[in-house]
Amino acid sequence: MTELVTTGLVDLDLAPTERRAAVRALAERLRAEGRVTDLERFLADVEAREQQMPTGLPGGIGIPHCRSAAVTAPTLAIGRSAEGVDFGSDDGPARLIFLIAAPEGGDTDHMAVLAALSRRLMRSEFTGTLLAADDPAHAADYVRSEVAP
């Protein structure tokens, strides 16, 4: 079974401050790890989902996500932005971005990851640990231990 999140899927210094550029930067990590076969198709699927309803949550969180034929395995990429990225939350830009990618037929995987992540995001300890992380490997291990189904 493929790990949900790996060190290569964590960017603790996500530079882009525009939503599409930030999602692209994280999606490029998915492609580099072999989790996405067609970057442009995946980005179009993420954007289509974002157009249905913004994925910003209170507390500086963005959770762009989609099911896509371009995804090879359920995957979570994590970005931390010093400047923040606008994902449409009323309380301002997201400092933590979680890009959830699920294979097209992976409804249960997608929903399980989204549900587990949503529960953890309610705990300030979870977000605080990620905001303070200084090592991508530690951040990946932490999220995997907290969120993996």
Q: Which residues are catalytic?
A: 65
Q: What are phi and psi of 57, to 5 degrees?
A: -120, 155
CB-CB contact of 143 with 3 (8 Å): no
**How far apart are alpha carbons 78 and 144 in whole angstroms?**
11
CB neighbour list of residue 64: distance below 8 Å, 6 or more residues apart:
19, 23, 46, 49, 50, 55, 87, 97, 98, 99, 100
